Structure 1
Amino acid sequence: MTDFDEFYAAHYGSLTVQVYAYFGDQHEAQEVVQEAFCRALARWGRISGYDDPAAWVRRVAWNLATSRWRRIRAMRTLHIRSRGEPVVDGPEPDRIALVDALATLPAVQRRAMVLRYLADLPVSEIAERESVSENTVRSWLYRGRLKLAERLGPVPTEEAHA
């Protein structure tokens, strides 16, 4: 895909969902994905030649989100120390059960689950990106699914709705 507008239209939504599922904040996900696309646009001549330009944008977005999360955590710690009062997050209406459940997984499992089930990447590509064996990725996915099943409970069947 050489046209940036087409590339943006084709990938913005799915990348935003992936970052949202990984980090749990829809507004932040939209902002970091937009910032990642801005950086891609500035380098589009080179990035458009990549086998998978969306993977580059996803990595940049995740790096940006991780940096923001670290800054927020540092600010909260500073606030707690300087004011002596706890900072308590209020409930966020756009936070869904799956995002809550994903947040309980270790980072490698959460990342593998998002890449496999939201980004539809094959196990081999996840293994390559994470620099681990395919069996390791399969193990992360298996353990992640078990933990999500424990957290979310059984999936309702058609009979349950009848």
Structure 2
Amino acid sequence: MVELRQARDVDRDGPADRDFDSFYAAHFQSLTIQLYAYTGDLLNAQDAVQEAFLRAPARWNRTSVLDDPLAWVRRVAWNLATSQWRRARTAALFLRRHRLETVPAPGPDRVALTAALATLPAQHRRVVVLHYLADQSVRDIADQIGVPEGTVKAWLHRGRTALATRLAEKEDEK
């Protein structure tokens, strides 16, 4: 039974496994230090080196016979670290471009004007907004909405009169 267990241990921990284990133990720390100096982030450096070493056993038959197997692992680790840096930079740029803008709340005058405009009939409100906020002439408004200029003037007069009354009421309430 003891001989069987020892035989399984030898099969599981064959010469190729021992070679990789010693390779990992010999180079993990120095490669992590290099990537830490490059990235400035120890955790990201360790992650990149670990990932590179995790990819090596799948290719160990080809990698181990290279003149410098460490060069392959180093290249993979550096590529991974560069990819992490690019992803972080892209995320930071995205957040910077899509940052929520804080818009100040409307002042009491704007709130009062908006409330007063909401009480006007639709035609009166439209011509008041087009004339005073969009800086359009009476002729342009008439052409745009398809009514005579006299109608626009009448609606504008009625809208201004109603607004003046409502805004005066707001002032009296204060």
Give the TM-score taking structure 1 as reference length: 0.50
| Identical counterparts, % of pairs | 64
State how far apart, in whole Å, the 1-side matches of 2:33 and 2:71 are. Answer: 14
State how far apart, in whole Å, the 2-side matches of 1:4 and 1:66 are. Answer: 25
The one of 43, 46, 57 aligned to 1:27: 43
Bigger radius of gyration: 2
**SS across alignment from 2:90:** helix
State how far apart, in whole Å, the 1-side matches of 2:40 and 2:100 are. Answer: 27
Cα deviation, 1:2-24, whole Å, max 9, x if unaligned, reads: 51101000000000001111111
Cα deviation, 1:85-144, whole Å, max 9, x if unaligned, reads: 7xxxxxxxxxxxxxxxxxxxxxxxxxxxxxxxxxxxxxxxxxxxxxxxxxxxxxxxxxxx
Cα deviation, 1:28-67, whole Å, max 9, x if unaligned, reads: 0000000000111111010000111111111110000001
For 2:88, the equivalent position in structure 1 comes to: 72
State how far apart, in whole Å, the 2-side matches of 1:80 and 1:45 are. Answer: 46
Unaligned residue ranges in structure 2 (runs of 5+): 1-14, 102-174
Higher helix fraction: Structure 1 or Structure 2? Answer: 2
- Give 1:73 deviation, angstroms: 0.3
The alignment covers a number of residue pairs equal to 85
Give the TM-score taking structure 2 as reference length: 0.47
Q: Which has the higher contact order (CA 8 A, sep 6+)?
A: 1
